[in-house]
Chains A and B, each alone.
Chain A
Amino acid sequence: MYRSVILSILLCSNVLAHEMTPTYPKWQVTYIEGVQKATMKMVNRRVDVEWYEISVFDESWKPIPFVLHSTGTTSYKLLKIDYLGHRKFDVYINEKDSERAEYLCSTSKIRGDDSNKPMIESKICSRFK
């Protein structure tokens, strides 16, 4: 009985995950002239995180301006995804900026909980090729 419980805990423990696809997104044309968009999908299996920050960088990791569009987004480029939830979102960017955009990243926003534990900030970056 105890062995079964321990086995269950061990096998069920790997549920704190962060995932973003595709690895190599493509800019697509939009109905707005001079603006392009990339569509991404994220999965949140981190019970300790519900907000993710979206960023776009050039090759030197300098930030590039963009507009994030999805349900539950804010003007601070934050995306709310509930535990075990998934969300599609669009990143809109100027056509001239899209040429130098290299990385599109999502970073978990973590909160201190006074628990004397190191927190784990996960970050996944897709790349425009």
Chain B
Amino acid sequence: MKKLLIALSLIFGVTSAYAGTNIDGSVQSRCTVETDTPGTYGNPNAYTLTTLPASSGQVPIVRFDVSLANAYYAQISYPTSFSSSPSLGDSTTWTGAVTIAQTSSSDMSGYQAASTTPSTSMRQYALTVAGTTWFAATSIATYGGGQNKAFPGGSYSAVVVAQCIAQ
């Protein structure tokens, strides 16, 4: 049973990991965007939702696999709005950060410092090294237009945008 589980995990691990080499041995340029960890909002008080683990949240992690260097930009943003039902009567303040959680190569150590910011919530990284990069998008939403009002009942959806744009 143990051997079977390990064998299955290796098979699925290899097939789900990115395969960059074609059958003829050539390497085709491609980018794969993967949801590594979906993320969850914790609710430390009535007016805050956060992905921070200290508040029972989970930070979403997105994985980018590229087969060739200098072919793609990665753009990741943390959420800046809720799609909600019923709609929210007051405004929500968003704060957050996009950071590199892990890289498959030490050659990527300069990514964090070299990133640029197309917008307040989004960061752009030139993927200058072939391999895998894991990005974390932390977000905190505070409701009530600065008056810390409790979130009303309903369902909320927030979106992390993960883009791989050809250079």
Instruction: Give me the interface of A with B, judged by CB distance under 8 Å.
Output: 1, 4-5, 7-8, 10-24, 45-46, 48, 103, 110, 112-114, 116-127
B41 touches A5 (CB 8 A): no
How long is the Cα–Cα vector from A90 to B72 in the complex, in angstroms? 22
A127 close to B35 (CB less than 8 A): no
Q: A110-B159, A119-B159, A125-B164 are in contact. Are A22 and B28 (CB under 8 A)?
A: yes
Q: Which residues of B contact A110 (CB under 8 A)?
A: 159
Q: Can you list 29 A-B contacts (CB < 8 A)?
A: A10-B9, A11-B12, A12-B8, A12-B9, A14-B16, A15-B12, A19-B31, A19-B33, A20-B30, A21-B30, A22-B30, A23-B166, A24-B29, A45-B16, A46-B35, A113-B157, A117-B39, A117-B40, A118-B38, A118-B51, A119-B159, A120-B60, A120-B62, A120-B162, A122-B33, A124-B163, A124-B164, A125-B163, A126-B166
Q: How many residues of B contact A (CB 8 A)?
A: 50
In this assembly, does B113 line the interface, its C-beta being within 8 Å of a C-beta of chain A?
no
Complex Cα–Cα for A103 and B31 (A): 15
B157 contacts which chain A residues (CB < 8 A)?
Answer: 112-113, 119
CB distance from A27 to the nearest CB of B (A): 15
